[in-house]
Amino acid sequence: MRKIFAVIIALCLCVTGAYATTESLTIDGSQGKLSAVIQKPELNAGEKCRIVMILHGFTGNKNEKLLTAIADALESHGVASIRFDFNGHGQSEGSFTDMTVLNEIEDAKKVYDYVKGLEYVDSVSVAGHSQGGVVTGMLAGELGAEKIHSIVLLAPAAVLRDDAIRGSVFGVTFDAENPPESVQLFGNYSMGREYVLTAQTLQIYPTSEKFTGAVCLIHGTADRIVPYTYSENYHRLYKNSELNLIQGADHGFTGFEGIAAKMAADFLMK
């Protein structure tokens, strides 16, 4: 009888992912070392799996509830993931004031190169929230469907270009034609002049639409930072996309993290 119970417990541990591993590491980024976390399901010798790069947004970090929920959902279904802090964010090196969307794309490319070289990885997908969604779309457009299997854009902040052009970010106004060296935002965050100038000329949609793989868009109808119409714009842009609107969800999917994470994970596991 004890042997039977031991077998049952062992099976339960395998099903619940008890043998999965979590690894903290650093990867060389565009502005210094990037702090990252890999969650990997238990794999047999020689077995491979997909890995999903999970990208946070402006002022965000890799340990936000939405992102960890996506990673956990993927892990429970045998899919690996890597979350990392962009330069100037979280535990990564670099100054937030020096961060731009373009050097975040370079960060993401370096992370892609790293995970693609892992022996257990057979394909790479990407999921990004807010500004991380913009980076995801442009990264996939540049690398192409030959390298990126599929992408998920959660409340993609294509509005950042419009904000930079009109000179208003999070309610803080500035001279858009001659932005200052830095713009003080909430908390201790200071947005740099180069960020603004770069954002004003970003080819967000033209670059993103080059991606021909599968795309999932997830957006909350109560998002007041990035209206869901921006996801509708992406949806019209892509030839192979689905749009999921979550009624009542805000920009960070507060209280809806589990729903958004399940939508993302279900799509990425197809």
pLDDT per residue as tens digits for the range 162-213: 999 999 999 999 999 999 999 999 988 999 999 999 999 999 999 999 999 9
* pLDDT average, residue stretch 100-117: 98
Two tokens, residue 128: 């990004």
Non-local (6+) Cβ contacts of 90 within 8 A are: 35, 56, 60, 61, 62, 63
pLDDT tops 80 at residue 58: yes
Exposed/middle/buried for residue 247 (C-beta within 10 Å: 0-12, 13-18, 19+): exposed
Tell me the pLDDT band of 96, cut-offs 50, 70 and 90. Answer: very high
Tell me the pLDDT band of 17, cut-offs 50, 70 and 90. Answer: very low
Tell me the pLDDT band of 19, cut-offs 50, 70 and 90. Answer: low
Average pLDDT, the chain: 93
Tell me the pLDDT band of 154, cut-offs 50, 70 and 90. Answer: very high
pLDDT tops 90 at residue 9: no
Distance CA 139, CA 137 (A): 6
Task: Quote the pLDDT of residue 6.
Answer: 36
Distance CA 85, CA 30 (A): 12
pLDDT tops 70 at residue 131: yes
Non-local (6+) Cβ contacts of 118 within 8 A are: 51
- Dump the DSSP string for 110-150: HHHHHHHTSTTEEEEEEEEETHHHHHHHHHHHHH-TTT--E
Distance CA 12, CA 220 (A): 35
Tell me the pLDDT band of 20, cut-offs 50, 70 and 90. Answer: confident
Task: Quote the pLDDT of residue 270.
Answer: 83
pLDDT tops 80 at residue 27: yes
* pLDDT average, residue stretch 10-27: 66
* 3 state DSSP class of 221: coil
- Does the model's pTM come out above 0.85? yes
pLDDT tops 90 at residue 69: yes
Cross-strand partners of 83: 37, 54
Cross-strand partners of 237: none
* 3 state DSSP class of 153: strand
